[in-house]
Amino acid sequence: MGQGSTLAVTVIAVVSALALIAYGVLLFDNLHDAPAYQIEFVTPFLYDANGDDNRNLNGEYITLMNRGELPVDMSGWTLRNALRVTLTIADGFVLPPESTVTIYSGCGEDTSDALYWCSEREIWDNNSGAATLLDAEGTKVAAHYYQRLCETCGSKRETEDDAL
């Protein structure tokens, strides 16, 4: 192989390597360009309604807050419990910055600050469980784990965790 051929192969190898590096950098950057939603679970998270939960479905609810500076279009987002019973948030629902939305287990008319699962039975276990919020692509945005302190005292402990 002549000197010209060696130089051509070297140039091709260098150009190929640079192309692969550039592709890797772009791929890595795209991973970091995913939206950094600042949606989180806030208290109260009432997982044990007064009386029979199945007769007081709207006595069970969770509240989410947008702590970000921009509105978040939550169309197609899902909220699920530990058993993966899922609510899909309707198209067009936008949570403004520094605003909350409460999601009730029972039926009602959706508004800008209240959504209704319209379940026929309780969603949240009365002793322990988890709630997971996923964006429309299925990426976990927030999770909340809860556990009752004791069966007889009625006290409840809520902790944010990387549940599910």
Mean pLDDT, to the nearest integer, of 135-148? 92
In angstroms, the first-to-last Cα distance of the chain is 60
Residues 94 and 111 in one domain: yes
Range of the domain at 16: 1-33
Mean pLDDT, to the nearest integer, of 34-44? 82
Contact status, residue 107 vs residue 118, Cβ threshold 8 Å:
yes
So what's the pLDDT on residue 1?
Answer: 59
Residues 49 and 98 in one domain: yes
Residues 18 and 45 in one domain: no
Residues 60 and 122 in one domain: yes
Residues 106 and 133 in one domain: yes
Contact status, residue 50 vs residue 56, Cβ threshold 8 Å:
yes
Helix (H) or strand (E) segment spanning residue 15: helix 3-32
Would you state the structure tokens that stand for residue 105, as one six-digit string? 């287990």
Residues 27 and 90 in one domain: no
Question: Per DSSP, what are the bridge partners of residue 94?
Answer: 73
Residues 24 and 52 in one domain: no
So what's the pLDDT on residue 57?
Answer: 96
> Confidence band (pLDDT; 50, 70, 90) for 146?
confident
pLDDT top residue among 87 and 45 = 87
Q: Which residues contact 58 (CB under 8 A, 6 or more apart)?
A: 49, 104, 105, 106, 107, 108, 116
Would you state the structure tokens that stand for residue 150, as one six-digit string? 């004791």
Residues 59 and 116 in one domain: yes
pLDDT top residue among 82 and 10 = 82
CB atoms within 10 A of CB 80: 18
Q: Which residues contact 11 (CB under 8 A, 6 or more apart)?
A: none
* Integer Cα distance of 39 and 95 in angstroms: 9
Residues 54 and 74 in one domain: yes
So what's the pLDDT on residue 35?
Answer: 64
Residue position matching structure tokens 């795209």? 30
Would you state the structure tokens that stand for residue 137, as one six-digit string? 């692509």
* Integer Cα distance of 104 and 143 in angstroms: 17
Give the number of domains in the chain: 2
Residues 57 and 89 in one domain: yes
Q: Which residues contact 149 (CB under 8 A, 6 or more apart)?
A: 155, 156, 157
Q: What are the pLDDT digits (tens) for 87-103?
A: 999 999 999 999 999 99
